[in-house]
């Protein structure tokens, strides 16, 4: 049985796609848990218990490549109005969160 170079390239391509998909799911779960904790600390309610990935971009910093991800979500402070927010996750898992002005 012989393994050709094209077989190896296909296997590596599929493995890369599966790893990227798995890393994206893991990053989304991490962002969701961060947003939940942040909303609880401010006595806000995260609506729909979800974050939606809206932007991804490649980052090259200190000689390392990474992905900067942005997730959008909605929250409420009084149970009536919906307010938007987003969280940006850097490759080092540092979070930057933004909440729109809302009623207290």
Q: What is the pLDDT of residues 2-57, one digit of tens each?
A: 889 999 999 999 999 999 999 889 999 999 999 999 999 999 999 988 999 999 99
Residue 29: inside a domain, yes or no? yes
Residue 58: inside a domain, yes or no? yes
Residue 70's domain comprises 5-99
Residue 95: inside a domain, yes or no? yes
What are the structure tokens assigned to 26, written together?
């893991």
Residue 72: inside a domain, yes or no? yes
Residue 17: inside a domain, yes or no? yes
Residue 84: inside a domain, yes or no? yes
What is the structure's pLDDT at 71?
A: 95
What is the structure's pLDDT at 1?
A: 73
- What band does 102 get if pLDDT is binned at 50, 70 and 90? confident
- Decide which of 102 and 6 is more confident: 6
What is the structure's pLDDT at 16?
A: 95
- Number of domains the chain is built from: 1
Residue 104: inside a domain, yes or no? no
């Amino acid at each position: 049985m012989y393994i050709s170079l094209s077989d190896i390239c296909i296997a590596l391509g599929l493995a890369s796609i599966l790893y990227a998909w798995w890393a994206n799911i893991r990053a989304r779960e991490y962002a969701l848990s961060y947003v939940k904790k942040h909303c609880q600390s401010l006595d806000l309610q995260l609506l729909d218990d979800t974050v939606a990935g809206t932007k991804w971009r490649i980052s090259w910093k200190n000689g390392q490549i990474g992905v900067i991800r942005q997730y959008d979500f909605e929250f409420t402070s009084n149970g009536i109005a919906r307010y938007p927010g987003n969280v940006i996750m850097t490759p080092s898992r540092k979070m930057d969160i933004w909440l729109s002005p809302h009623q207290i």
